Structure 1
Amino acid sequence: MRTQQMQTREETDPRDGWTRRLAAGLLALAPLVTYSSTAVAETDRDAQATTSRPSDEDIAAAVGRRLAGSFGENGGGLSAHADEGVVTLEGTASNLAIARRAVDLAETVRGVRAVVSQVSVSPESSADDATVVRNIRRAWLFDPATELLKLEASVNAGVARLTGSVGSHAEKHLAEEVVASIDGVVDIDNQIEVAYDERRTDREIHEELIGRLRSSVWIDPERVSVEVNDGDVTLKGEVESAAARRRAYHLAWIAGVQNVNHDQLEVAGTRRDDAQRPGRHPFPPDEAVERSLQAALQQDPRVDTSSVKVSVRNGTATLRGTVPTLQNKRAATRDARNTRGVWVVRNRLRVAPNARANDEDVGAQVNEALARDPFVNADFVRAAVIGGVAHLQGRVENEFDRRQAEKVTGSVRGVVEVLNELVVDTSWQDVDDSSMAQRLHDELWWSPHIYSKTIDLKVIDGAVVLDGKVESEFERRQVLRTIEDFGVRKIEDRLSVDRAP
Structure 2
Amino acid sequence: MKVPAFKTIAFALALSLSLNQTTPSVLANEPASGEIVKAIEADLADAERIVASEIDVKLDRGVVTLGGTVNSILDRDLASEIAKRTRGVQAVVNQILVQRSDRSDDSIHEDVQRVLITNSSVDEPQIVVAVNQGEVSMTGEVDSLAEKRIAGFVASGVRGVVSINNQLTVAMSSDRTDTDLRDEISALIHHSVYLDDVEVEIAVDEGVVKLTGNVHSALQKDHLERIAEIWGVAAVDVRNIRVDPTADGRAIRQKRYESVTDESIKEALQRAYRVDPILFSRADAIEINVSIGRVSLSGSVDRLRVKNRAEKLAGDVIGVRAVSNNIELQLPGKPPTDIEIVHETQDALARSAHLDRRDIRVHSQAAHVSLYGVVESELEKRVAQWVADGVTGVVHVNNSLAVEREWEQKSDEQIKTALERKLRFAFYEESDDLSVDVQGGVAIIKGTVDTWRQWQTVMDLAIEAGSRHPHNLVNVQYHPPHGASDIYVPH
TM range (shorter): 0.7 to 0.9
Alignment-derived partner of residue 308 in structure 1? 286
Alignment-derived partner of residue 65 in structure 1? 42
2:261 pairs with 1:282: no
1:322 counterpart SS class: strand
Q: TM-score, normalised by structure 2?
A: 0.82
Instruction: Spell out, residue by residue over 1:248-280, the C-alpha distance to the aligned partner (whole angstroms, 9 max, x if none).
Output: 112222233222211110111426375465687
2:243 pairs with 1:267: yes
* Identical positions, percent: 28
Amino acid paired to 1:248 = L
Could you tell me which runs of 5 or more consecutive residues in structure 1 were left unpaired when the two chains were aligned: 1-48
Could you tell me which runs of 5 or more consecutive residues in structure 2 were left unpaired when the two chains were aligned: 1-25, 482-491
Offset, 1:117 = 0.4
2:174 counterpart SS class: coil
The correspondence for 2:368, drawn from 376, 379, 389, is 389
d(CA) in 1 for partners of 2:285, 2:442? 40
Offset, 1:102 = 1.3
Q: TM-score, normalised by structure 1?
A: 0.81
The correspondence for 1:132, drawn from 94, 98, 108, is 108
> Could you say which structure has the greater relative contact order, defined with CA pairs below 8 angstroms and 6 or more residues apart?
1
Offset, 1:423 = 2.7
2:345 pairs with 1:369: no
Offset, 1:469 = 5.2
CA contact (8 A) 2:134 2:163 kept: yes
CA contact (8 A) 1:249 1:260 kept: yes
CA contact (8 A) 1:225 1:237 kept: yes
CA contact (8 A) 1:366 1:409 kept: yes
d(CA) in 1 for partners of 2:200, 2:353? 36
1:385 counterpart SS class: strand
Amino acid paired to 1:309 = E
Matches within 5 A, 1:68-107: 68-72=45-49, 77-107=54-84
Offset, 1:59 = 1.3
CA contact (8 A) 1:75 1:98 kept: no
The correspondence for 1:410, drawn from 365, 389, 406, is 389
1:379 counterpart SS class: coil
2:218 pairs with 1:255: no
d(CA) in 2 for partners of 1:266, 1:141? 38
CA contact (8 A) 1:399 1:487 kept: no
Amino acid paired to 2:163 = D
Offset, 1:468 = 6.3
Alignment-derived partner of residue 164 in structure 2? 188
2:415 pairs with 1:436: yes
CA contact (8 A) 1:237 1:264 kept: yes
The number of residues matched between the two structures is: 452
d(CA) in 1 for partners of 2:254, 2:97? 37
CA contact (8 A) 1:104 1:243 kept: yes
d(CA) in 1 for partners of 2:473, 2:374? 25
Instruction: Spell out, residue by residue over 1:39-97, the C-alpha distance to the aligned partner (whole angstroms, 9 max, x if none).
Output: xxxxxxxxxx9972222211111111221111336665123222222211110122222
Alignment-derived partner of residue 304 in structure 2? 326
The correspondence for 2:174, drawn from 186, 198, 209, is 198
Residues 431/339 of structure 1: CA separation in 2 closer, same or farther (3 Å cut): same
d(CA) in 1 for partners of 2:313, 2:375? 27
Alignment-derived partner of residue 478 in structure 1? 457
d(CA) in 2 for partners of 1:423, 1:343? 30
After TM superposition, which residue ranges in structure 1, 4 or more long, deviate above 4 angstroms? 73-76, 273-281, 449-469, 483-496
Matches within 5 A, 1:1-40: none
Alignment-derived partner of residue 295 in structure 1? 271
Amino acid paired to 2:243 = V
- Root-mean-square deviation (CA, aligned residues, Å) is 3.1
d(CA) in 1 for partners of 2:472, 2:376? 20
d(CA) in 2 for partners of 1:408, 1:468? 38
Residues 132/351 of structure 1: CA separation in 2 closer, same or farther (3 Å cut): same
Alignment-derived partner of residue 329 in structure 2? 351
Matches within 5 A, 1:33-52: 52=29
Offset, 1:225 = 0.8
Instruction: Spell out, residue by residue over 1:2-38, the C-alpha distance to the aligned partner (whole angstroms, 9 max, x if none).
Output: xxxxxxxxxxxxxxxxxxxxxxxxxxxxxxxxxxxxx
